[in-house]
């Protein structure tokens, strides 16, 4: 049975009359979602998330995993929007190494700052709940900088936007008129906090993400904020203890289908197909993250054993090694600062890890040398 997902209203923008789409409130109705359309995929996705949470105990510090997972998600969600930065660029920036594509890296680091703001609020008893206000605060940080300064950071749009096409009249999709955006977002906020949930939480997350992209409440950054909302909801409903999932990797690899199915929820009311795609994405991404945890744990354990077996190992070298998963690119000066020691001691520790083949010198120069935990960087970069 066909489902009507919304209505069209006539509006004018740039002197052109267009039909803007206004979605119906969630969850879908007439007909409602059939549990048989998603039950199998939902069970698989929930199990995959449970396995990911369990396997995170394989490493000595979950902060290692968070460091890489948050950066991968920030990078991949930005790449979906055309940003060209790489993981190596992020690591270089954190090491204080000069970059040629600083604007691209700034967009990725802004995403990480926006995500940190949301996560800090959710974990603070006195912080903001997951709400339109918090989403706007995250958007303000996301668009901070030269590229986003004229895109009304932190503010719901006051003008009609459109997706695809050079002008409103040839747009692929025209979102709701701006005066309807606040109410549509309030409806989403209400769904997030309703008890009990009318559907399984992962299904609700799939619905909310699609609805958010349909509303398109900002002039820019809607895709990245919409995907950040997925991560926040996983934590809000305690589906993951830590944000170790980088779902944007799967969405990027299947970007054409991702966009097609989002569009189909509007044009055809094809919510079941979208929900199944989303649940498979969660299952695959969780399995990929689980494999990454095992690979990182194995690599670090083997390299630690090489250091332990070295007759020249000392306290500074051990301390530097333990920093590598959260400092994969560095200079000797950076190592000295992190170790709070003298330059000769830091230099000797770096030399030992280099001699053991754990760390590589990256420049081939005698001056301004930089070093990298290259096997670790290459392992993380597989999902780019």
pLDDT of 238 higher than 90: yes
Peptide linkage before 21 cis (omega within 30 of 0):
no
Buried b (16+ CB within 10 A) or exposed e, 64-86: bbbbbbbbbbbbbbbbbeebebb
Tens of pLDDT, residue by residue over 176-195, are 999 999 999 999 999 999 99
User: If you classify domain 6-22+34-43+58-284 with CATH, what class do you get?
Assistant: mainly alpha
Q: How many CB atoms lie within 10 A of CB 229?
A: 23
Structure tokens at 286: 């969780």
Peptide linkage before 61 cis (omega within 30 of 0):
no
How confident is the model at residue 374, as a pLDDT?
Answer: 94
pLDDT of 94 higher than 90: no
Structure tokens at 75: 């990078």
pLDDT of 197 higher than 70: yes
How confident is the model at residue 363, as a pLDDT?
Answer: 80
pLDDT of 1 higher than 60: no
The answer to whether the 6-22+34-43+58-284 and 310-383 domains have the same CATH topology is no
Domain regions of the chain by residue span: 6-22+34-43+58-284, 310-383
Tens of pLDDT, residue by residue over 244-281, are 999 999 999 999 999 999 999 999 999 999 999 999 99
Residue among 212, 200, 226, 211 at smallest CA distance from 279: 200
The average pLDDT across 311-333 equals: 95
What average pLDDT does the chain have?
93
Tens of pLDDT, residue by residue over 282-308, are 999 999 999 999 999 999 999 999 999
User: If you classify domain 310-383 with CATH, what class do you get?
Assistant: mainly alpha
pLDDT of 165 higher than 90: no
pLDDT of 149 higher than 80: no
SS3 20: strand
Confidence of residue 2 (pLDDT cuts 50, 70, 90): low
């Amino acid at each position: 049975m066909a489902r009507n997902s919304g209505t069209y209203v006539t509006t004018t923008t740039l002197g052109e009359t267009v039909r803007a789409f206004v979605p119906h409130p969630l969850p879908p109705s007439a007909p409602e979602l059939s549990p048989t359309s998603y039950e199998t995929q939902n069970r698989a996705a929930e199990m995959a998330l449970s396995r990911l949470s369990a396997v995170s105990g394989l490493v000595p510090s979950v902060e290692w995993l968070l460091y890489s997972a948050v950066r991968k998600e920030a990078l991949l969600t930005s790449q979906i929007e055309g940003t060209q930065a790489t993981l190596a660029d992020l690591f270089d920036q954190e090491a204080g190494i000069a970059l040629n594509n600083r604007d691209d890296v700034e967009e990725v680091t802004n995403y990480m700052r926006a995500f940190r703001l949301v996560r800090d609020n959710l974990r603070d008893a006195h912080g903001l709940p997951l709400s339109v206000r918090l989403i706007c605060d995250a958007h303000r940080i996301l668009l901070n900088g030269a590229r986003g300064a004229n895109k009304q950071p932190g503010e719901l749009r006051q003008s009609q936007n459109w997706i695809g096409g050079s002008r409103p009249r040839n747009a692929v999709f025209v979102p709701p008129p701006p005066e309807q955006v606040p109410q549509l977002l309030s409806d989403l906020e209400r769904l997030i906090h309703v008890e009990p949930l009318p559907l399984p939480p992962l299904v609700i997350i799939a619905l909310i993400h699609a609805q958010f992209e349909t509303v398109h409440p900002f002039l820019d950054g809607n895709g990245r904020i919409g995907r950040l909302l997925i991560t926040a909801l996983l934590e809000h409903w305690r589906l993951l203890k830590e944000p170790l999932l980088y779902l944007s990797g799967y969405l990027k690899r299947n970007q054409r289908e991702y966009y097609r199915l989002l569009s189909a929820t509007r044009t055809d009311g094809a919510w079941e197909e979208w929900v199944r795609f989303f649940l498979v994405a969660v299952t695959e991404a969780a399995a990929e993250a689980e494999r990454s945890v095992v690979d990182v744990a194995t690599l670090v354990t083997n390299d630690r054993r090489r250091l332990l077996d070295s007759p020249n190992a000392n306290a500074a070298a051990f301390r530097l090694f333990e920093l590598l998963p959260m400092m994969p690119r560095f200079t000797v000066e950076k190592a000295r600062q992190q170790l709070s020691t003298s330059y000769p001691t830091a230099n000797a520790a770096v030399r030992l890890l280099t001699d053991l083949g754990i760390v590589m010198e990256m420049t081939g120069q005698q001056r301004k040398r930089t070093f990298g935990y290259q096997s670790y960087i290459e392992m993380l970069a597989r999902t780019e």
